[in-house]
Structure 1
Amino acid sequence: MAIKELTFVVCFWIVCSAGHEFFSSTDQTAQLVEKKKYLLMSFSQYIDAEEKNVEAMKSAFQNLLPLYSDPVDPEEFTRDPVAAYKLLRQLRNELIYIVKHIRLSFYQCNEYQYELEFLEIPQPEDLNGAASGLIRLQEIYKLYPENIMMEMSLSADEAYHVGLVAYYEDKFQHAFLWFLYSLNTLTEYSTTNKKDLLHYLSFSAYRFGSQPVAIYFCQQLLNLDPTNDEVKVQLSLYRRHHFMRTSNPDIFTLNTESSKYETLCRGEVDERTSKRQMALSCRYSTGGGNPRLMYAPVKEEVEWDEPRIIRYHDIISDREIEILKNISRPLLSRSVTKGGISKNRTSQSVFLEEGNTVVARVNQRIANITGLSMESAEHLQVQNYGIGGRYEPHYDAEDNENERIATFLIYMSDVEIGGATVFPKVGVALKPKMGSAVFWYNLHKNGKVDLNTEHAGCPVLRGNKWVANKWIHEFGQEFRRPCSLSYWE
């Protein structure tokens, strides 16, 4: 504001002085003294305002400095989903503040103008997406807000935002729990309004079906605002519905009912599955006698027998993984399904062509191990999962011509908690192990989809998940995996 005022004063003085001769009138010359006083006063106000502006920017700079001066791996900031959510909020607020003040400054450096124009700042959609990720973790892993915050806590304002996202996703129990956490952590510095919280608490409970709780919080709201007629009507409605209902579900206790996919993600494997896996084998494999593997066989572990799921250990080095990550980072974009962008898949990915020697080497290694032709295979896809990132149950193949006959999935990172690859139909959960890969056939030998290969990527509760997919198609495999007319093959 001070800049605009000073600019107006200077421009006004220039315009008003343009038609005057000062040398021909001593009075006009004398009036310059008064104008100078006014200009100096405005200039002084501008300096004061700029000093305050600089102090505010220094404060913002100090808040952001640890993010960039600390030598810790940047991925460490995002291994905890709560920390990642807070980081997005902080970066959005601080970067908007800094950019705003730099653009207002008289001393804007031209060399930074280009960077400012193309600076990528987290958008509200990013914050909502991150909040959805936290809610997803709640759903899959049956967690309360306090359980998700293992290393870092959310403020009342942050929890309120997560609650709003859950509320507008019609997940009223989760919304209620976040609003309740926000209410319990309100401070004098919180911007969240207590009345708003009580309103959402009562309405979330009402929509969930817990009428006594809805009545309680609505009464609390009325106590704060006794003259509010809308709240009185709302309370009357809740009481009337309470007498009409025969049951009131407990909104404070999370429902333990789960799908097979969710139980596998939580590591609740059936005892019979564990015993069956114990009977499976490990060995060194040469890929069916491939000359390239005769003197350097790969470690092969059978994870499941039907469908046959094999894990290969130590098939890619740490250095190769870093190279693939570095190639992929600037190219990553939102992963899609056949229907386009979907809430069922929260990750970013890129297909890498064989222009890079590491990509070519990995592709050749996959061909050596599987014994399949890469002639009709898709490019290697590198994928990084987001906050609470997952890929819900799906098939890699359909009953079409030249479908994906097989999948080769490389784990490029360890994941501390969550992130397993699960097969709900057979009850198998595979934990990511950096440097290993899992391989399975999506199609029977008769060309039909193996329905037991339905699989999913569980949400990442803690850590960062990187994978690389190689989808191998039917064409070119005629003599490598001969077809069969049998219904059972």
Structure 2
Amino acid sequence: MELPCCCLLLLSCLQSLSAHADFFTSTGQMTDLLYTEKDLVTSLKDYIRAEESKLEQIKRWAEKLDSLTVTATQDPEGFLGHPVNAFKLVKRLNTEWGDLESLVLRDTTGGFISNLTIQRQHFPNDEDQTGAAKALIRLQDTYRLDANTISTGNLPDPEHPRGKSNLKYFEFQLEKQKKAAEEEAPKQKEREKRETAEKKKKQKKSKKAFSLIPEREKYEMLCRGEGIKMTPRRQSRLFCRYYDNNRNPSLLLAPVKQQDEWDRPYIVRYLDIISDAEIERIKQLAKPRLRRATISNPITGVLETASYRISKSAWLTEYDDPMIEMINNRIEGVTGLEMDTAEELQVANYGVGGQYEPHFDFGRKDEPDAFKELGTGNRIATCLFYMSDVAAGGATVFPDVGAAVWPQKGTAVFWYNLFASGEGDYSTRHAACPVLVGNKWVSNKWIHERGQEWRRPCGLSESE
């Protein structure tokens, strides 16, 4: 019987260790800590009430004896001359003071300490505190916030609990901007006439200058909403439409709303592609399975955690819930691509300052074994579902081309990682910006090459 007991002890130890697993990397899982703390506060209040009750009894005893001893010590012999008083003195010193001693020594901390000991297994550890502190520094650097701004909660979203006190400031700034715009309007018209001829030259220079900026700076600029802007001519070629994917049977009666986000690489957004009920069900299924997101080491191929990917993820299959199969079929309907060789649906929740720095979804030529175990070829395309709105930050940016796609709950963005020839499209290098305010939930569907031979035929040139 000793061996099973040892095994149980080991399992309990492993469970307690797993409880410390990177709280700071998932805001969704951190919500459990609020309920843990709430339970501890309730337990603490029970302890305080027990202590107050004990002290109240001691106080009444002290007040009673105080008045008694004052009277007795004025005429000790006369007081003890009464046999009842003498008996009561002996009785008090022999038994009642012993009872008081027991009352004073009575431990009321048991319930609270026991609860605290149990809950401490689920507390964040030093790594979590360090990770959260680094996240604040990362947010300061990326969004150019001074220490006072972030410490006092003056963050961009005025509706956020820490930002509501600054609502007047935001209103003042908005009114100030409106007045400035009205005063500037006449001057702007004259300026536009003078700048029309120089506009194209400036755009070319701006694009060239942006391309010379280090990737890290471009990434942070795009996260802040800065960087190059698409020319009006290119913007005029972006449209929104009702899309049935060449009269796909599943879309004939209810075509999806498709919106062009970028032209090169071609990025589209599908609006209202996933319902709130489906989102909540996915989150419900994924939350217990969330684990620290990993990256594949390009040298060893081993999965490992990295400081540049701060999130937790879980994988959901069609066997987990029939709804997952419905979503897979929906992706197949709008993209026209085979889902049988695609990876399972990956659900991700970002933590404090959660981010994923610039990376490729597809395997490059120097990573020939990237998806060898799957046997389904390279990742031909990415479908990214946004399952929450993000109050500030959290954009998906493409540093090489200057594109920024902002989270919008219930939508999905789609792009091809490979050209039709099978060559990688290096302009699809992208990143998830740090979440400044809010909670970011996404899910990914990575679609692979195998099975797409007739759905997306090979091109004749590498860049086709």
Shorter-chain TM range is 0.5 to 0.7
1:265: how far off?
0.2
Asked whether 1:43 is paired with 2:102, we answer yes
Closer/same/farther in 2, CA of residues 457 and 349 from structure 1, 3 Å limit = same
Bigger relative contact order, structure 1 or 2 (CA pairs below 8 A, ≥6 apart): 2
Closer/same/farther in 2, CA of residues 279 and 102 from structure 1, 3 Å limit = closer
Contact 2:315 2:347 in 1 (8 A): yes
Q: Aligned residue for 1:344?
A: 308
Closer/same/farther in 2, CA of residues 122 and 152 from structure 1, 3 Å limit = farther
Decide which of 352, 360, 373 is 1:395's aligned counterpart.
360
Asked whether 1:321 is paired with 2:279, we answer yes
CA distance in 1 between counterparts of 2:315 and 2:344 reads 6
TM-score where L is the length of structure 2: 0.60
CA distance in 2 between counterparts of 1:101 and 1:376 reads 49
Contact 1:273 1:428 in 2 (8 A): no
CA distance in 2 between counterparts of 1:332 and 1:35 reads 63
- Amino acid paired to 1:131: A
The SS at the match of 1:259 is helix
What pairs with 1:356-367 in structure 2 (closer than 5 Å)?
A: 356-367=321-332
Misfit runs of 4+, over 3 Å:
33-42, 98-103, 149-153, 271-275
Q: Aligned residue for 1:158?
A: none
Closer/same/farther in 2, CA of residues 144 and 100 from structure 1, 3 Å limit = farther
Closer/same/farther in 2, CA of residues 138 and 117 from structure 1, 3 Å limit = closer
Closer/same/farther in 2, CA of residues 117 and 267 from structure 1, 3 Å limit = closer
CA distance in 2 between counterparts of 1:469 and 1:257 reads 24
1:322: how far off?
0.6
Q: Aligned residue for 2:229?
A: 271
Closer/same/farther in 2, CA of residues 337 and 45 from structure 1, 3 Å limit = same
1:40: how far off?
4.7
CA distance in 1 between counterparts of 2:234 and 2:150 reads 33
CA distance in 1 between counterparts of 2:263 and 2:151 reads 39
Q: Aligned residue for 1:10?
A: none
Q: Aligned residue for 1:286?
A: 244
Q: Aligned residue for 2:77?
A: none
Closer/same/farther in 2, CA of residues 335 and 486 from structure 1, 3 Å limit = same
Q: Aligned residue for 2:404?
A: 429
The SS at the match of 1:271 is coil
Contact 1:378 1:471 in 2 (8 A): yes
Decide which of 117, 129, 142 is 2:131's aligned counterpart.
129
CA distance in 2 between counterparts of 1:304 and 1:36 reads 88
Q: Aligned residue for 2:24?
A: none
- Amino acid paired to 1:144: D
CA distance in 1 between counterparts of 2:414 and 2:396 reads 12
CA distance in 2 between counterparts of 1:136 and 1:117 reads 30
Rg larger in 1 or in 2?
Answer: 2
- Amino acid paired to 2:395: A
TM-score where L is the length of structure 1: 0.57
CA distance in 2 between counterparts of 1:438 and 1:452 reads 16
The SS at the match of 2:436 is strand
Contact 2:393 2:434 in 1 (8 A): yes
Decide which of 348, 366, 384 is 1:383's aligned counterpart.
348
Structure 1 residues 189-236: Cα deviation after superposition (integer angstroms, max 9, x where no partner):
xxxxxxxxxxxxxxxxxxxxxxxxxxxxxxxxxxxxxxxxxxxxxxxx
CA distance in 2 between counterparts of 1:458 and 1:273 reads 24
1:475: how far off?
0.4
Contact 1:277 1:303 in 2 (8 A): no
Closer/same/farther in 2, CA of residues 266 and 438 from structure 1, 3 Å limit = same
The SS at the match of 1:134 is helix
Contact 2:310 2:356 in 1 (8 A): yes
CA distance in 2 between counterparts of 1:468 and 1:273 reads 31
Asked whether 1:456 is paired with 2:442, we answer no
Structure 1 residues 423-445: Cα deviation after superposition (integer angstroms, max 9, x where no partner):
00100000000000000000111
What pairs with 1:12-411 in structure 2 (closer than 5 Å)?
A: 40=99, 43-47=102-106, 50=107, 53=109, 98-99=112-113, 116=118, 119-149=121-151, 151=153, 259-272=217-230, 276-339=234-297, 340-355=304-319, 356-399=321-364, 400=368, 402-411=377-386
CA distance in 2 between counterparts of 1:384 and 1:331 reads 11
Gaps of 5+ in 2: 1-91, 156-213, 298-303
Q: Aligned residue for 1:472?
A: 447
The SS at the match of 1:415 is coil
Asked whether 1:418 is paired with 2:393, we answer yes
CA distance in 1 between counterparts of 2:223 and 2:154 reads 23
Q: Aligned residue for 1:483?
A: 458
- Amino acid paired to 1:322: E
Closer/same/farther in 2, CA of residues 143 and 274 from structure 1, 3 Å limit = farther
Structure 1 residues 280-330: Cα deviation after superposition (integer angstroms, max 9, x where no partner):
111111123211101110111111111111111110011111111111111
CA distance in 2 between counterparts of 1:133 and 1:117 reads 25
Q: Which moved more, 1:118-127 or 1:353-362?
A: 118-127
Aligned length: 298
CA distance in 2 between counterparts of 1:34 and 1:149 reads 59
Closer/same/farther in 2, CA of residues 481 and 35 from structure 1, 3 Å limit = farther
1:463: how far off?
0.8
- Amino acid paired to 1:368: G
- Amino acid paired to 2:336: G
CA distance in 1 between counterparts of 2:361 and 2:462 reads 20
Superposed CA RMSD in Å reads: 2.7
CA distance in 2 between counterparts of 1:274 and 1:148 reads 36
Closer/same/farther in 2, CA of residues 274 and 428 from structure 1, 3 Å limit = farther
The SS at the match of 1:303 is strand
CA distance in 1 between counterparts of 2:408 and 2:128 reads 29
- Amino acid paired to 2:140: Q
CA distance in 1 between counterparts of 2:127 and 2:380 reads 37
1:487: how far off?
2.1
Contact 1:288 1:371 in 2 (8 A): no
- Amino acid paired to 1:129: G
Structure 1 residues 386-419: Cα deviation after superposition (integer angstroms, max 9, x where no partner):
0000000000001346011000000000111100
CA distance in 2 between counterparts of 1:279 and 1:150 reads 44
1:130: how far off?
1.0
CA distance in 2 between counterparts of 1:99 and 1:264 reads 49
Q: Aligned residue for 1:187?
A: none
- Amino acid paired to 1:351: W
1:266: how far off?
0.2
The SS at the match of 1:310 is strand
- Amino acid paired to 1:307: P
